[in-house]
Amino acid sequence: MRRLIRSGILLAALGAFFTPPLAAADGPKTLRFIPQADLRILDPVWTSAYITQHHAYLVYDTLFALDEHMKPQPQMIDHWTVSDDKRAYTFTLRDGLKFHDGLPVLPADCIASIARWGKRDVFGQKLMETVEAMTPIDDKSFKISLKQPFPLIIDALAKLHGSAFIMPERVAKTDADKQITDFTGSGPFKLVKEEWEPGHKVVYAKFADYLPRGEKASWVAGGKVAKFDRVEWIYIPDSATAAAALNNGEVDWWELVPTELLPVFAANKSVIVNKKPDPLGTLGLLRFNQLQPPFNNEKMRQAFLYAVDQREYMAAVAGDPENWRTCYSFFTCGTALANDAGTGAIAGKRDLEKASPPRPERLCDRPRREPGHRRPHAQARAERRGGDQRLGHAARPPHLQGAGRQRRVERIPHLDRRPRHDRPGTEHPIARQRARRLVRLAERRQARGLARGVVRGTRSRRAKDHRGQYPGRGL
């Protein structure tokens, strides 16, 4: 059962595994395990969910696998050769490989599994872009021919998450966009489909004909020796209920435990708390949405780096410093890819002065208005007025002197001549009297050398009612 424990430890994040001593017992041995989530999807190609990947490592095997040093190692492959031009790879399978239905693992099964995996996995898609053909040679060997050299072909087949799990050809021919319904695998455990209860329990039984490698187990590579006859995944979504089940001996192992529940097990000597099950841990990321303000501005993102403190976030998430450590590398610390390039801003001393730009500088993308700046509609309104200054606050054009704060001016040329009394609406005595007043007013302004204008603005409701009752009064 060593493989199951190591696979679970591999993907644990900011929690703890509880593994009480399992007493040897006569008869079948059963491991009762509380997984991190409910297993609802059983197809590891259709989804990349961690819980499904854990399930797949029990049920299926892979051609290659990563060891504890992150190096690819052969798993189902016995040996392989590469042509001189790096465009042809020949693989030979180990002896004695079988599926859960008793049929032998053949090259056709491997080819179909790689092809289906390569339609959905990103790494697999890149590999398949260079694949010219995959052909079986005999009952144990097959060949992958490439259009051009692809140095990462072994790394692709050995990738940890989203692996190319080997299925029977009949299953692997399922459309990659549809989930499989046949769960016949090639790994150390068989899924007991009749006892699978979504939302509650998944049951696995030891596959007696599985042939593990002779090497020592190393991460997901090496010999996968099943030490239990039966494994039960019991999903308990409520943390308090799960804690009580572990304390009472109803389950044997809890994969991912909230850190706030650690004191609950302090007095139980039968519970072993493994706070550092994986030396690499899991890397958490905060990502900016660079499409939306304010983080679409590079200066805002740079200022953010000087203000945040990774330790504060980790303490809030995981509590006790024994449960976490800082890591400023974009790639996981402790691996060959880890480096500190470009991490000075976030790894150095917090500097709020650098995070706070000078007051005149704005970090949002909204343009800062300069003195005298007008928005487009205000500029257009100023041009209609015929000047570049606001009326009522500065010198006005001559034809508006004395008009005060106005909105709009319209010239009415017909007021410069006497109105025609035969026009509709002017035969009423009050209307004729009003027209004469307008004409006299126009004549007086012409005498002063000013253009006649009538200001059209807003009027109060009371003024409108007054004008409706007395149409001949006032302008």
**Residue 120: pLDDT over 60:** yes
**Residue 82: pLDDT over 90:** yes
Angle between helices 50-59 and 2-10 (to 10 degrees): 160
Residue pLDDT, tens place only, 224-263: 999 999 999 999 999 999 999 999 999 999 998 888 888 8
Residue that has been written with the tokens 């909105």 in this structure: 407
Amino acid identity, position 309: D
Residue pLDDT, tens place only, 340-351: 888 888 888 888
Residue pLDDT, tens place only, 43-54: 999 999 999 999
- 322 or 239: which leads in pLDDT: 239
For residues 181-193, give the mean pLDDT. 97
Q: Report the pLDDT value the prediction gives residue 456, as an integer from 0 to 100.
A: 41
Residue 342 φ/ψ region, left for φ over 0, alpha for ψ in the -120 to 50 degree band, beta for the rest: left
For residue 294, whether the previous peptide bond is cis, meaning omega lies within 30 degrees of 0, is yes
Task: Centre a 10 Å sphere on the Cβ of residue 14 and count the other Cβ atoms it contains.
Answer: 17
Residue that has been written with the tokens 């053909």 in this structure: 133
Residue 468 DSSP SS3: helix
Q: Report the pLDDT value the prediction gives residue 441, as an integer from 0 to 100.
A: 66
**Residue 190: pLDDT over 50:** yes
**Whole-angstrom Cα distance, residue 176 to residue 46?**
7
Q: Report the pLDDT value the prediction gives residue 324, as an integer from 0 to 100.
A: 86
**Residue 470: pLDDT over 70:** no
Residue pLDDT, tens place only, 380-427: 666 666 554 444 444 445 554 454 444 444 455 554 444 454 455 445
Q: Report the pLDDT value the prediction gives residue 280, as an integer from 0 to 100.
A: 78
Residue pLDDT, tens place only, 279-307: 777 777 788 899 999 899 988 888 888 88
* Strand bridging mode 30-34 / 253-254: parallel
- 381 or 451: which leads in pLDDT: 381
- 371 or 409: which leads in pLDDT: 371
Query: pLDDT-derived band of residue 448, with 50, 70 and 90 as boundaries?
Result: low
**Whole-angstrom Cα distance, residue 127 to residue 141?**
20
Please count the CA atoms within 13 angstroms of the CA of 76 that sit on its side-chain side: 29
Query: pLDDT-derived band of residue 457, with 50, 70 and 90 as boundaries?
Result: very low
CATH number (3.40.640.10, 3.40.50.620, 1.20.1260.10, 3.40.190.10) of 2-274 reads 3.40.190.10
Task: Centre a 10 Å sphere on the Cβ of residue 124 and count the other Cβ atoms it contains.
Answer: 23
Does residue 387 contact residue 431 with C-beta atoms inside 8 Å? Answer: no
The beta-strand segments (E) located in 368-452 are 409-411
Query: pLDDT-derived band of residue 374, with 50, 70 and 90 as boundaries?
Result: low
Query: pLDDT-derived band of residue 119, with 50, 70 and 90 as boundaries?
Result: very high
* 2 CB-near residues (< 8 Å, 6+ apart): 217, 224, 225, 227
Q: Report the pLDDT value the prediction gives residue 109, as an integer from 0 to 100.
A: 98
Please count the CA atoms within 13 angstroms of the CA of 294 that sit on its side-chain side: 11
- 238 or 429: which leads in pLDDT: 238
Query: What is the average pLDDT score of the chain?
Result: 80
Q: Report the pLDDT value the prediction gives residue 23, as an integer from 0 to 100.
A: 43
Q: What is the DSSP letter of 343?
A: -
Residue 172 DSSP SS3: helix
For residues 308-322, give the mean pLDDT. 86
Angle 226-227-233 from CA coordinates, rounded to 5°: 80
- 454 or 335: which leads in pLDDT: 335
Find the distance separating the first CA and the last CA of the chain, reported in whole Å: 100
Bridge partners for 82 per DSSP: 89
Q: What percent of the chain has pLDDT over 90?
A: 48
Query: pLDDT-derived band of residue 30, with 50, 70 and 90 as boundaries?
Result: very high
Q: Report the pLDDT value the prediction gives residue 283, as an integer from 0 to 100.
A: 79
Q: Report the pLDDT value the prediction gives residue 108, as an integer from 0 to 100.
A: 97
Q: What are the domain boundaries of the chain? A: 2-274, 298-355, 369-406, 408-475
Does residue 118 contact residue 127 with C-beta atoms inside 8 Å? Answer: yes
Q: Report the pLDDT value the prediction gives residue 355, as an integer from 0 to 100.
A: 76
Q: Report the pLDDT value the prediction gives residue 3, as an integer from 0 to 100.
A: 28
pTM score of the predicted model: 0.68
**Residue 376: pLDDT over 60:** yes
Does residue 184 contact residue 101 with C-beta atoms inside 8 Å? Answer: yes
**Cα distances (Å, whole numbers) of residue 320 to 140, 225, 273, 316:** 52, 35, 14, 9
